[in-house]
Structures are given as structure tokens and as C-alpha cells.
Amino acid sequence: MSERVPSPKGTALTLLAAPVAVGAGVLAWSLAEAAWFHRLHVGEVRPHPAPAGFTVLHLSDTHLLPRLHARRRFVRSLAQRVQPDLVVFTGDGISSPEGMPALLDALDGLLDLPGVFVFGSNDYVGPRMRNPLSYLWRSSSGSSSNVRRLPAEAFAAALRNRGWLDLRNARGTLRVNGMTMSFVGVDDPHVGFDSIPPDEGVRGDLHIGVAHAPYSRVLDAFREEGCAVSLFGHTHGGQVCVPGRGALVTNSDIPTWRASGLQGWPGLRPDGLALTPRPPFAPVPSELPDDGRIPMWVNISSGLGTSPYAPIRLACPPTASVLRFAHPGDF
């Protein structure tokens, strides 16, 4: 009885099937993970000097479209779920003109609270279809004449009309939970819109820096003028993270291990830690440069959305940040 010998062609197809199946599984997982709108990262911030205890909700990169109902429901739930004292929105809120009323509706409960905002480039122009792998070798900040303008100024006016501070290359103060908070903000550094506004020396009980993209020049500027805390978005936490490496890109000039989380600048945090939450299976340095000054607390949000042309996340689920500022009595 003769044995049937597999043909070379059949063997090749069998070998090819395994990586194709794995790739399809990873893609399916990444598409599903991008829709897991349930995660809040709660971090404790202890600036010096410590203000009275309060809570900040940091939202970023919602990239909203009207059809994204789960994302809209999640944002709408945060007013009651978190009950923050202050809301900080770091941009890339919409992905189409129709996204503006959808986002304003989702933010409605939060707009009754003290808030501040800056914009990212995708609040000015709509995202473009492009090869997502291009993020691995070059920045996404290139310009094009073939862009779709978004209603950024109408969006900003709607937020201002509800009492939120517009911090695009601007400063301002708010009374929050019995304290005076001072703010400095810049427009999106990723596309060169940033310009530190003139400093008239106004400082509240807490001085906070706000920008969309975490570029080192902005981090340095905020720290130089004495910000205790600064908040950024833009990175999507790397959007695709892999074991042993973590985020592959930040789409800015900061190291990939800084892609998201509560951290310090330029060294470790004032409490001596590097980063929380620590990315699983990814290297995080235990020692960083120290120039002898108190480092600035920094929160980089991994955000809630993606470009509609790359709706995937891998080991980096959508996240809103909740920062609990410690009461002096907690020390």
C-alpha cells in the first residue's frame, strides 16, 4: 500500500495558514479592544506644596463621530461616575463636522463643571486615510492641501460659552473647590501651533500646564515656569503595544516608555516612581537624570479613540484618567 506524500504546494499553504490565522486573530482582538470603553486609570498626585484634596478628570483624543455610540455613552457617564472637581480636555475631540454636536451632547454633564481645554490638529482638520505603518518611520505632522476643515472655532466657542477656559496659547485662572488654580496652555505642538503666552506672574494655589502633544520643548517650558502638574494627550498610549517593547511609537519626540501614564519630568516623579500604570512586559527605567530641582508631575492620557482609518488598539485599551490630588492631611 503506497503512502501519500504531501505536495510541496500543500505544505507551503499549510505553513502560510498559521501566520495568517494569527494575524487575523490579532486584528480581531485589536478591533474589539478599541471599543472597550470601561477603563478609568486613577492616579494619586502629590504636588508640592500640596493643595486641598480634589479630583481631576483628564479626557483626550475622543475622535468622535456620531455613529460611535459606545464611546458617546462612556463620555456621558463620566460626570456621575467620577464626579470630578475639574475637567481637563487635551484635544483631538472630533473626526468630522458632525462629531461636534455629538461630542457636546456627550460632554453636557461635564460642561456644568469647571473645565479647561486645548485642541489637537484633528479639531482643525479631519483625519486622512494613510498607511498606518507609516507611523513607525515618520511623524504624522506632514501637511496636505487635501484636508477637510472642521468647525474648530465653533467648537471652542461652545465650550467657552459653558464656562470652560480656552488655553490655546493662553493663560487663565479658575476657582475650584475653594482654591485658585492658574493655568498655562499652548495650541497643538505637533503641528507647530504652540507659543508660550507672555507670563505676567499670576500663580494660584496650583499652577497647571495643558497641551495636546507631549513635546520636550513644551514640557521644559511648563517646568521652567513652575507648573506643578502638566497634562497631555495625542499619543494614544502608542495605540499598538507589544511584549518586551511596550509602545512602538509616541508620534512625538519623547521616549516610547513615556507613551502614557502618570510620570515625572525630566526625571522620576517627586515620589521617586517612574510611571503608573507600568506597561506590562515593557521596560521602564528605574533611574533618570536629576538636576536637583523638584520634578514636575506629568500625565499623558492614552485617550479614548483612534483615527477612523485605523480603528485598532493592541494592549492599550481606551482610557480616561482620574487624578486624585492628595489632601495635606494624607501625607
Write out the three cell numbers for 322. 482620574
Strand order, beta sheet including 115-117: 39-45, 319-325, 54-59, 86-89, 115-117, 165-166
CA distance 20 to 223: 48
Residue 105 lies in a domain: yes
Q: Tens digit of pLDDT per residue, the chain (331 long)? A: 555 555 555 555 454 544 544 444 444 544 444 456 567 888 999 886 656 689 999 999 999 999 989 999 999 999 999 999 999 999 999 999 999 999 999 999 999 999 999 999 999 998 766 555 555 455 555 444 456 799 999 999 999 999 999 999 999 999 998 899 999 999 999 999 999 999 999 999 999 999 999 999 999 999 999 999 999 999 999 888 887 788 899 999 999 999 999 999 999 998 889 999 887 667 888 778 777 778 999 999 999 988 888 777 877 888 999 999 975 444 3
Q: Are 266 and 292 in contact (CB under 8 A)?
A: no
Contact 92, 303 (CB under 8 A): yes
Select from 162, 99, 90 the least CA-distant residue to 126.
99
Phi, psi of 190 (to 5 degrees): -65, -30
Q: Which of 245, 254, 270 is nearest to 43 (CA)?
A: 270
Partners of 297 in the β-ladder: 229, 264
Q: Is residue 258 in a domain?
A: yes
Question: Is 308 a domain residue?
Answer: yes
**54-59 and 86-89 as β-strands: parallel, antiparallel, unpaired?**
parallel
Whether 113 is in a domain gets the answer yes
Place of cell 488654580: 181
Number of domains present in the structure of the chain: 1
248 contacts 240 by C-beta, under 8 angstroms:
yes
pTM: 0.86
In a domain, 6, yes or no: no
Which CATH number is 310's domain given? 3.60.21
Query: Does residue 5 lie within any of the structural domains?
Result: no
202-208, long-range: CB within 8 Å, 24+ apart, which pairs? 202/171, 202/173, 204/173, 204/179, 204/180, 205/51, 205/179, 205/180, 205/181, 206/47, 206/51, 206/179, 206/181, 206/182, 206/325, 207/181, 207/182, 207/183, 208/88, 208/116, 208/181, 208/182, 208/183, 208/184
4 occurs within a structural domain: no
Query: Residue 233 belongs to what domain range?
Result: 11-330
